[in-house]
Structure 1
Amino acid sequence: MSTAVSSTASAIAWDKVIDFSDYGELLALVHNSLWAGALLGLVGGLIGMFIVARDLPFAVHGIAELSFAGGAAALLLGVNVVAGSLVGSVLAAVLFGVLGARAREHNSAIGVLMPFGLGLGVLFLALYQGRAANKFGLLTGQIVAVDNPQLFSLAVIAAVVVVALALLWRPLLFASLDPDVAAARGVPVRALSPVFMLVLGLSVAMSVQIVGALLVLALLVTPAAAAMRVSASPFVVPVLSTVFALVAMVGGLLLAVGSSIPISPYVTTVSFVIYLVCRLVARLRRPADRPETPRPVVAEIV
């Protein structure tokens, strides 16, 4: 009897993980989400290299917490959630820039503000009396909640981020890889840092809407970290990072369509598998006397 119950429970659990019985009908419901995922993959892949090079994964998580608080506040007040997340992200970027002007102060400033943002977000969600799915989605992502106005907002944010990165790409990359040499060459390293934090805040605000506040690192950090395992070129890395982010985001969405659980486990799993494969490839290709972690060559961008 217990064996039969266990088998039934296992079957029910796997049905929740993936079920392609009505896949065609469900796929039509996530048209906007697929476009939003592609935009997020593009932005995450491009900015991820700078996040890893500047050692800012912790900052991404900190900004995500305040973006979550902004989105939760907007949900409570009945206003646009994207706008709320955007305000929270930009505020976090400004605060991190002000409180952590020196590199060694960044982590402590982020560590102070991150639990505060998470606490505010939890408070706002506790006061919210609407659908539970809206609460859960801010933390773990939503798959069918991207409507046309939200998609338009995400597209505008993505365009701003891509244009900003295109304009700042060369000096920002130089300043990220070797700030001392960049400053000596006349690159405005100090001015670039707060500008980049603002661009990062916009990217995080996008990510929170799709994959949730808890797992933004899977798109803004993991693809770039994987790309840097298999290439040391500052030109190849962003291309690979973008491809990996797109595969993780769109592939995760397509897998999540046939399930009743949030999108984030699928996106994070695909992203992590890509990272593991890249680590394996790097290990197989690396001679015994070669450093394990390749870094882009500064001379190629000077």
Structure 2
Amino acid sequence: MTFADGIWQQIFSFDHYGELLALVRNSLIAGAALGLIGGLAGIFVIMRDLPFAVHGISELSFAGASAALLLGTNIVAGSIVGSLLAAGVIALLGTRARDRNSAIGILMPFGLGLGVLFLALYKGRAANKFGLLTGQIVAVDTPQTAWLLGTSAVVLTALVVMWRPLTFAGADPDVAAARGVPVRGLSFAFMIVLGLAVALSVQVVGALLVLTLVVTPAAAAARVTSSPVLLPLLSVVFAVASIEGGILLALGSSIPISPYVTTISFGIYVTCRFVGAHHARRWGSRTAAPQPA
């Protein structure tokens, strides 16, 4: 076997695939739920220009999960606690974009440093440490699945309740405030919901690549449509396709799941960008065409 064949076998291996597929039922269920909330939350992340906040929250989520791993408690719960703390701090200190970005810039290295400290103190399996950074949903067990699905239901319910006022406030916050929409309170509530969504997404691709689930699908969908119905629908479809595809491709390999999820998500974005540019050129040429006399 050549070196290239060995690398290929590590990345894509479908030996005993049918037997392995039965072991990831929980992962596929949890992945569908996380794709749903990631795709929906991402719409407002793009609308409110919060991708940097997502990354900042993920660092504290990593710290919380690392602390839970060190203490031998539920990792998902630890991740959620860390995310909620970060989201609350960002929401309270970030009334303006400059303040928000400064707060995030302070939180990110602090959270990452804490996470590294906790992992250095942890004496268990190295795979558990690595999984917090790169994702480990293929190994999701029944208790973790229950946590993921329960928290996903909370996030989904909150997004449904806040959807219309969030859309209004995101489009024109001044007019929304004049119409009686509690813009500041709504912004705080969304940051908490975003914290939960990020904590769950960390379980899939790890803390370092969480943007690929909460930002990339929505950004891809926005390239091909501005419809208030199609935009969230496509965002969810893209997120679910990235997660489920990543799980299925990673199943037979020795590579962590995150490269597969991020590659699929990035491929979808590039495709949507080309499609959007093509449609823009076509409609532009039609508009510029001379009208018959």
CA shift at 1:289, angstroms?
8.2
CA RMSD of aligned residues (A): 1.2
Instruction: Within 5 Å, give how 1:175-186 maps onto structure 2.
Output: 175-186=169-180
Distance 1:70 1:218 in 2: 20
Distance 2:30 2:283 in 1: 43
Distance 2:70 2:182 in 1: 41
CA shift at 1:210, angstroms?
1.7
- 1:50 paired residue number: 44
Q: Can you list the C-alpha shifts for 1:91-122, whole angstroms capped at 9, x where unaligned? A: 00111112222233111110011110000000
Q: After superposing the two structures, state which structure 1 stretch, 174-183 or 107-116, moved more.
A: 174-183
Q: 2:86 aligns with which of 92, 95, 98?
A: 92
Instruction: Within 5 Å, give how 1:87-166 maps onto structure 2.
Output: 87-166=81-160
Counterpart amino acid of residue 2 in structure 2: T
Moved over 6 A (4+): none
- 1:224 paired residue number: 218
Q: Can you list the C-alpha shifts for 1:162-219, whole angstroms capped at 9, x where unaligned? A: 0001111000111112212212222111110110000000001101112111111101
Q: After superposing the two structures, state which structure 1 stretch, 218-227 or 205-214, moved more.
A: 205-214
Q: 1:74 aligns with which of 68, 82, 96?
A: 68
Q: Can you list the C-alpha shifts for 1:220-253, whole angstroms capped at 9, x where unaligned? A: 0000000000001122100010011011110111
Distance 1:78 1:232 in 2: 46
Are 2:34 and 1:40 equivalent residues in the alignment? yes
CA contact under 8 A between 2:64 and 2:82: conserved in structure 1? yes
Instruction: Within 5 Å, give how 1:59-70 maps onto structure 2.
Output: 59-70=53-64
Are 2:77 and 1:83 equivalent residues in the alignment? yes
Instruction: Within 5 Å, give how 1:166-181 maps onto structure 2.
Output: 166-181=160-175
Counterpart amino acid of residue 198 in structure 1: I
- 1:300 paired residue number: none
- 1:236 paired residue number: 230
Are 2:2 and 1:8 equivalent residues in the alignment? yes
Distance 1:178 1:269 in 2: 34
Q: 2:21 aligns with which of 24, 27, 30?
A: 27
Distance 1:195 1:263 in 2: 31
Distance 1:134 1:26 in 2: 20
- 2:208 paired residue number: 214
Distance 2:243 2:261 in 1: 6
CA shift at 1:288, angstroms?
7.3
How many equivalent pairs are there?
A: 284
Structure 1 unpaired stretches of 5+: 1-6, 291-302
Are 2:271 and 1:277 equivalent residues in the alignment? yes
DSSP-derived class of the 1:232 partner? coil
DSSP-derived class of the 1:286 partner? helix
Q: Per the alignment, do residues 279 and 123 of structure 1 end up closer, same or farther by CA in structure 2, a change over 3 Å counting?
A: same
Q: TM-score, normalised by structure 2?
A: 0.94
CA shift at 1:143, angstroms?
3.5
Counterpart amino acid of residue 186 in structure 2: L
Counterpart amino acid of residue 255 in structure 1: L
CA contact under 8 A between 1:143 and 1:262: conserved in structure 2? no
